[in-house]
């Protein structure tokens, strides 16, 4: 069996926009439901949801089945700050919060097997298709997509150095945490911060890496796509469900 091709990674490298959805409902059934909606990628959030390794594995299996069978979305995983890569190395395609090039190098290292990195070597895992993928340990890095997250001033100051790290495929700007760290907690499109995000996206693209971001506001999503964003999440499953059910209830109760 050949190493599966990561279509998401190759699309980013080719400069093709990838539209995604944030997933926090923490159940494989919900993930499979949204996986058939037409997005290029879906992100399984383990920072702000009760997702754990087992639920993520089940959700990835469901999403991957759609991806393999019907060209569905590529499932990614986001790590929380309390799930640093050294202690959470059983996942791949990590999205980690970094502030400088050294932290970005560390993130990459936990996706590479020795001697190039620190990823633990195991033979019969699902990643290897249960030892069926030929030369997996030697070639796995070719199809792994490493996305690191920047969400404070230090990260912005080091943006080009972070993007220059070999093995980093893209840099995600965390809008909520960035607003909070710059003095505007609870906001995601403050007029003082939005231009900073615009500039960050352009800088990442100029550095030759893929910029990404999340927003539930259509105008902001289109703005950041125009700035050069390549992997943009245009909503979240919990937000879509909450707002649409509120609208439905209001139609009959107003």
12 vs 86, more confident: 12
Give the HSE-up count for residue 82: Cα atoms under 13 Å, Cβ half-sphere. 6
Q: Are 170 and 210 in contact (CB under 8 A)?
A: yes
Q: Are 3 and 35 in contact (CB under 8 A)?
A: no
11-20, 67-76, 175-184, 212-221: range with lowest mean pLDDT: 67-76
Q: Which pLDDT score, from 0 to 100, does residue 85 have?
A: 33
SS3 217: coil
Residues of the chain above pLDDT 70, percent:
87
Taking the C-alpha atoms of residue 172 and residue 150, their distance in angstroms, rounded to an integer, is: 6
Q: Which pLDDT score, from 0 to 100, does residue 47 have?
A: 82
Q: Are 62 and 31 in contact (CB under 8 A)?
A: yes
Q: Which pLDDT score, from 0 to 100, does residue 89 have?
A: 34
CA distances from 130 to 60, 64, 96 (A): 16, 15, 27
pLDDT in tens, 41-98: 999 888 888 878 788 888 777 655 455 444 557 666 665 543 333 333 334 444 458 9
Instruction: Select which of 48, 79, 88, 141 is catalytic.
Output: 48
Residues of the chain above pLDDT 90, percent:
70
Q: Which pLDDT score, from 0 to 100, does residue 61 have?
A: 74
Residue 176 has pLDDT above 90, yes or no: yes
166 vs 92, more confident: 166
In the residue annotation, 79 being an active-site residue is answered as no
Write down the pTM of the prediction: 0.87
């Amino acid at each position: 069996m050949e190493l599966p091709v990561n279509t998401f990674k190759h699309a980013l490298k080719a400069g093709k926009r990838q539209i995604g959805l944030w997933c926090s409902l923490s159940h494989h059934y919900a993930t499979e439901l949204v996986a058939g909606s037409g997005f290029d990628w879906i992100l399984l959030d383990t920072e702000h949801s009760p997702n754990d390794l087992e639920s993520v594995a089940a959700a990835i299996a469901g999403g991957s089945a759609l991806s393999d069978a019907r060209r569905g979305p590529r499932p990614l995983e986001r790590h929380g700050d309390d799930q640093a890569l050294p202690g959470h190395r059983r996942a791949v395609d990590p999205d980690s919060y970094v502030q400088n090039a050294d932290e970005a190098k560390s993130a990459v290292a936990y996706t590479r097997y020795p001697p190039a990195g620190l990823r633990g070597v195991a033979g019969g895992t699902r990643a290897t298709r249960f030892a069926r993928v030929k030369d997996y340990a030697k070639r796995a890095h070719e199809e792994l997509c490493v996305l690191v997250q920047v969400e404070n001033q230090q990260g912005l100051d080091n943006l080009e150095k972070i993007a220059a790290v070999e093995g980093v495929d893209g840099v995600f700007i965390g809008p909520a945490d960035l607003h909070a760290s710059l003095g505007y907690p609870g906001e995601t499109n403050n007029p003082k911060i939005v231009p900073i995000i615009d500039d960050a996206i352009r800088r990442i693209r100029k550095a030759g890496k893929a910029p990404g971001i999340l927003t539930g506001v259509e105008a902001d999503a289109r703005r950041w796509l125009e700035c050069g964003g390549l992997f943009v999440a245009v909503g979240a499953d919990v937000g879509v469900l909450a707002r649409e059910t509120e609208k439905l209830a209001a139609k009959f109760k107003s």
